[in-house]
């Protein structure tokens, strides 16, 4: 039954879009910051730093006139504000327990405040290293 409901919703959604292309676009930035994890027992409870990366993605129909889902400048401006808040700081001054997960939550809250969330926010990814990442994804 669930498969039938999903198929029906997909068809309704495609009918609503008509001939419009649906795409996801993303923007990624980097910053350097220190943190410590006060609720953790291990090496990460000590002050240390990372070269962080943040990526946000927005999805939606491609506008026929502009040819875009969203202007990359909008995403850049939002991410620049996040970087200005975090770059070369002690993250604990902004987020009491600055795990990658809690940084994602902070960025999600800021996206709502700044109107990015209303533009079809698809995901937010925060890397604290090349191989360690937390992600929020729209369902």
Give the residue numbers annotated as catalytic, written as ranges. 44, 88, 128
Distance CA 74, CA 119 (A): 10
- The closest alpha carbon to 34, from 24, 26, 44, belongs to 44
Token pair recorded at residue 104: 């994602």
- Residues 108 and 136: beta-carbon distance below 8 Å: yes
Instruction: Enumerate residues 6+ apart whose C-beta is below 8 A from 87.
Output: 31, 32, 33
CA distances to 30, 97, 105 from 112, in Å:
21, 21, 11
**What CA–CA distances, in Å, run from 123 to 10, 87, 116?**
20, 21, 11
């Amino acid at each position: 039954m669930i498969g039938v409901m999903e198929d029906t919703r997909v068809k309704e959604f495609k009918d609503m879009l008509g001939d419009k292309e649906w795409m996801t676009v993303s923007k990624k930035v980097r910053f350097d910051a220190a943190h410590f994890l006060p609720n953790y027992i291990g090496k990460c409870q000590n002050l240390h730093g990372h070269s962080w990366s943040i990526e946000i993605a927005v999805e939606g129909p491609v506008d026929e006139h502009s040819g875009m889902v969203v202007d990359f400048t909008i995403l850049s401006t939002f991410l620049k504000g996040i970087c200005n808040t975090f770059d070369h700081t002690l993250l604990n001054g902004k987020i009491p327990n600055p795990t990658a997960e809690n940084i994602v939550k902070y960025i999600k809250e800021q996206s709502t405040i700044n109107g990015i969330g209303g533009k079809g926010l698809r995901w937010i990814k925060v890397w604290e290293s090349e191989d360690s990442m937390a992600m929020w994804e729209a369902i």
